């Protein structure tokens, strides 16, 4: 069952807790903190963070000068330390701590009956409603590197890095409230020193609109540092003499907010989320400027001290991710951003093609239209490029070239689409030229034998491309390619022909699931008229097929030859592509994510035109993933090494050898296939802890 435990795939579950504060009553606050800490343990979190000065309350003001309160805070810390012996959860709590006559605003890190370290606040606000310098000293003032607390010597300082010995990617650092609001937060240096999880204990009173500012601040810091960022602020129970408190907690990862607390809640609360440490590591590896920053700030990083601990990540039972992974990672799932994203993708594709036409000094574009998804999207983009350049759509020379396997359905769709978009439509039946080629090379099909092999198929694909390039020569036009990212990844394209070669590709970094989404969006908005929208929906409902093998047709005159029967379902293969290309994940992790995403509990929305599949079994995921890695790593790179120019569309990556992806064409897939072999085929019993 280890495969189904997310701790084995670089995830850690973390928690942000906000207890109701009883002002100036540290023992009561300790009990409330312990209760949330126990809840974090029950929810399988490995780390739980609590607010700034949470053991005393932030708004104690001059009560921080009272020795009784300071002693009670130490006692409260020791009570939490004792409770932590039975809990496999790192607790980070806020408290005032007196050290050699100076009082510091601190975060104490407690785990398994030990105080791992204490971090003082670096920057103390002393403006507007804040006057912390009245009570506290900045952490930089401290010369001590250790303090004696509860009978143990504890590391002390604001350059502590807590490193899990059993998970090298799990390293965290702590800063406190105002530390985040300065131009260069301490967490920036901590991230460069190796921290993948950044933690902020905050009080942060609420004023109108401040929650939005906090949220953007936390998200941006997590993005700049390529890290996770946990933020927790004081809530109910703090003094409202002059201020109010909303208890705003957040868990963010590389610019995305994974979880937030409910603000202004009058009871304690705990939220959890999973951090993907491998994703953060992948982003840092890929972004070379991260290493450059480490070098430039090496003097700052030398002062960090590493505090090792064992995180105890081996948990019993089956653990499923609470975090939802979209089944269609290339597709905008949020309806609020759907239109914006679709418009932007079209703009990128149109700008790329229009610029190329201008640079080549050409006024015409030529492309083949099959009546399927890819050529439909390419034709839509090409027509818009003509609109952008102020040229008539009649300058788009569209050719449908039926052959042995062309169905009546797709042929009719191609003819209707060319007419609907107002381009110059042509029809060339290539069967005669294909017959000539088959005869010239002595293929059995030329003698009427039903030998429909790769040669038979590629003769047709090659004839179409040959016609397009010669027509482009004759009419002074640019050949626009139609193939997509999914086909290039799987090698489901013919070397040297239109789905691999063109003067310019518009779809080469757009995967099949996103092509569907873009066409569906175009159909929904009906900007081209109701009849054209109906035609686009008909194209979306057509089986994906190369249509290169003759034969009868299935129900509804669908093509008999089906691409997904050979290369796998594009919905699943695009999922595999995204996580292997974008993050370099191992196939074992990709399979775990795919299996998790297709559980019914994570159903989510489906792009228009996708067949709704309730879930994939782990055996099915394993089978299609094995096919993917074999085709992607061992069989198809030579085709991608010489693909035509194409605009990069999304952050999910492209396969251009001049851009995102460079790889040897003769590398075996041995290590990836071995990882696939490690994937189990038996479904787990999901009755274990979640």
**Which residues are known catalytic residues?**
52, 121, 177
SS3 content of the chain, % helix, strand, coil (to 5): 45, 15, 40
Q: If we measure between CA atoms, which residue out of 401, 253, 198, 316 comes closest to residue 687?
A: 316
Other C-beta atoms within 10 Å of 453: how many? Answer: 11
DSSP reduced 3-state for 404:
coil
Longest alpha-carbon distance in the chain: 102
Give the helix/strand (H/E) hosting 540: helix 530-540
Which of 172, 155, 165 is closest to 106 using CA atoms? 155
Side-chain half-sphere CA neighbours of 88 within 13 A: 15
Taken in order 385, 387, 389, 394, the sign of the CA dihedral is: positive
Task: Kindly report the backbone phi and psi dihedral angles of residue 103, in degrees, each rounded to the nearest multiple of 5, phi listed first.
Answer: -105, 130
3-state secondary structure of 116: strand
Tokens at 582, concatenated:
């974008």
The Cα–Cα gap between 688 and 319 comes to 7
Q: What DSSP letter does each residue of 412-424 carry, written as one string?
A: HHHHHHHHHHT-E
Complete DSSP assignment for 156-209: BSS-EEEEETT-TT-EEEEEEGGGGGSSS-HHHHHHHHT-SEEEEE------TT
Q: Which of 170, 30, 180, 185 is nearest to 94 (CA)?
A: 30
Pairing of strands 90-99, 102-111: antiparallel
CB atoms near residue 156 (< 10 Å): 23
Q: CA–CA distance from 686 to each of 317, 461, 689 (Å)?
A: 9, 48, 8
Walk across the sheet containing 250-253 and list its strands. Answer: 256-260, 250-253, 228-232, 197-201, 171-176, 160-164, 305-309
Residue 427 is inside which H or E element, if any? Answer: strand 424-427
Spatial separation of the C-alpha atoms in residues 121 and 97, rounded to whole Å: 11
């Amino acid at each position: 069952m280890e495969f189904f435990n997310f701790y084995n795939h670089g995830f850690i579950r973390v928690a942000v807790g906000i207890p109701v504060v009883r002002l100036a009553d540290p023992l009561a606050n300790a009990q409330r903190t312990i209760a949330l800490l126990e809840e974090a343990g029950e929810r399988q979190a490995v780390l739980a963070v609590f607010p700034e000065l949470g053991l005393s309350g932030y708004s104690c003001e001059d009560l921080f000068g009272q020795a009784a309160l300071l002693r009670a805070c130490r006692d409260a810390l020791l009570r939490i330390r004792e409770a932590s012996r039975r809990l496999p959860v790192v607790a980070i709590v806020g408290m005032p701590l007196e050290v050699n006559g100076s009082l510091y605003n601190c975060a104490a890190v407690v785990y398994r009956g030990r105080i791992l370290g204490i971090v003082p606040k670096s920057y103390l606000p002393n403006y507007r409603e804040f006057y912390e310098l009245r009570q506290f000293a900045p952490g930089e003032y401290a010369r001590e590197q250790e303090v004696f607390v509860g009978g143990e010597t504890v590391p002390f300082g604001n350059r502590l890095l807590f490193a899990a010995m059993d998970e090298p990617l799990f390293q965290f650092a702590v800063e406190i409230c105002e530390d985040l609001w300065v131009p260069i937060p301490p967490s920036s240096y901590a991230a460069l020193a190796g921290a993948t999880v950044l933690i902020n204990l905050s009080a942060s009173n609420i004023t109108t609109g401040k929650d939005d500012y906090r949220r953007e601040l936390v998200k941006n810091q997590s993005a700049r540092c390529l890290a996770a960022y946990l933020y927790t602020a004081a809530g109910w129970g703090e003094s409202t003499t002059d201020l109010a408190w909303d208890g705003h907690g957040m868990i963010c990862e590389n610019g995305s907010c994974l979880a937030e607390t409910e603000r202004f809640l009058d009871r304690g609360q705990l939220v959890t989320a999973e951090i993907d440490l491998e994703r953060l590591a992948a982003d840092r590896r890929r972004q070379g400027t991260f290493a450059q920053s480490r070098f430039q700030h090496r003097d700052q990083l030398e002062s960090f001290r590493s505090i090792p601990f064992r995180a105890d990540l081996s948990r019993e039972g089956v653990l499923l991710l609470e975090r939802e992974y979209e089944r269609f990672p290339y597709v905008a799932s949020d309806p609020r951003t759907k239109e914006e994203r679709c418009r932007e993708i079209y703009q990128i594709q149109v700008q790329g093609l229009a610029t190329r036409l201008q640079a080549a000094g050409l006024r015409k574009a030529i492309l083949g239209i099959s009546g399927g998804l890819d050529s439909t999207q390419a034709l839509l983009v090409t027509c818009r490029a003509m609109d952008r350049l102020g040229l008539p759509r009649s300058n788009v020379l569209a050719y449908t070239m039926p052959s042995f396997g062309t169905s009546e359905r797709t042929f009719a769709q191609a003819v209707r689409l060319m007419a609907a978009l107002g381009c110059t439509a042509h029809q060339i039946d290539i069967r005669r030229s294909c017959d000539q080629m088959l005869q010239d090379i002595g293929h059995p099909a030329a003698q009427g034998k039903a030998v429909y092999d790769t040669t038979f198929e590629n003769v047709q694909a090659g004839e179409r491309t040959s016609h397009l390039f010669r027509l482009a020569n004759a009419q002074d036009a640019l050949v626009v390619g139609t193939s997509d990212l999914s086909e290039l990844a799987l090698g489901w394209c013919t070397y040297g022909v239109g789905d691999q070669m063109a003067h310019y590709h518009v779809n080469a970094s757009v995967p099949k699931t996103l092509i569907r989404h873009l066409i569906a969006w175009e159909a929904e908005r009906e900007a081209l008229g109701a009849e054209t929208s109906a035609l686009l929906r008909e194209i979306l409902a057509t089986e994906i097929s190369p249509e290169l093998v003759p034969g009868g047709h299935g129900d509804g005159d669908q093509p008999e030859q089906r691409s997904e029967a050979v290369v796998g379902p594009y919905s699943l293969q695009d999922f595999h592509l995204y996580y292997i290309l974008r993050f370099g994940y191992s196939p074992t992790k990709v399979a775990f994510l795919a299996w998790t995403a297709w559980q019914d509990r994570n159903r989510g929305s489906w792009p228009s035109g996708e067949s709704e599949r309730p879930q994939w079994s782990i055996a099915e995921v394993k089978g299609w993933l094995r096919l993917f890695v074999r085709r992607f790593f061992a069989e198809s790179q030579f085709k991608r090494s010489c693909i035509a120019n194409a605009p990069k569309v999304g952050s999910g990556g492209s396969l251009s050898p001049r851009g995102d992806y460079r790889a040897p064409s003769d590398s075996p897939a041995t290590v990836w296939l071995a990882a696939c072999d490690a994937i189990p085929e038996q479904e787990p019993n999901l009755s274990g802890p979640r």
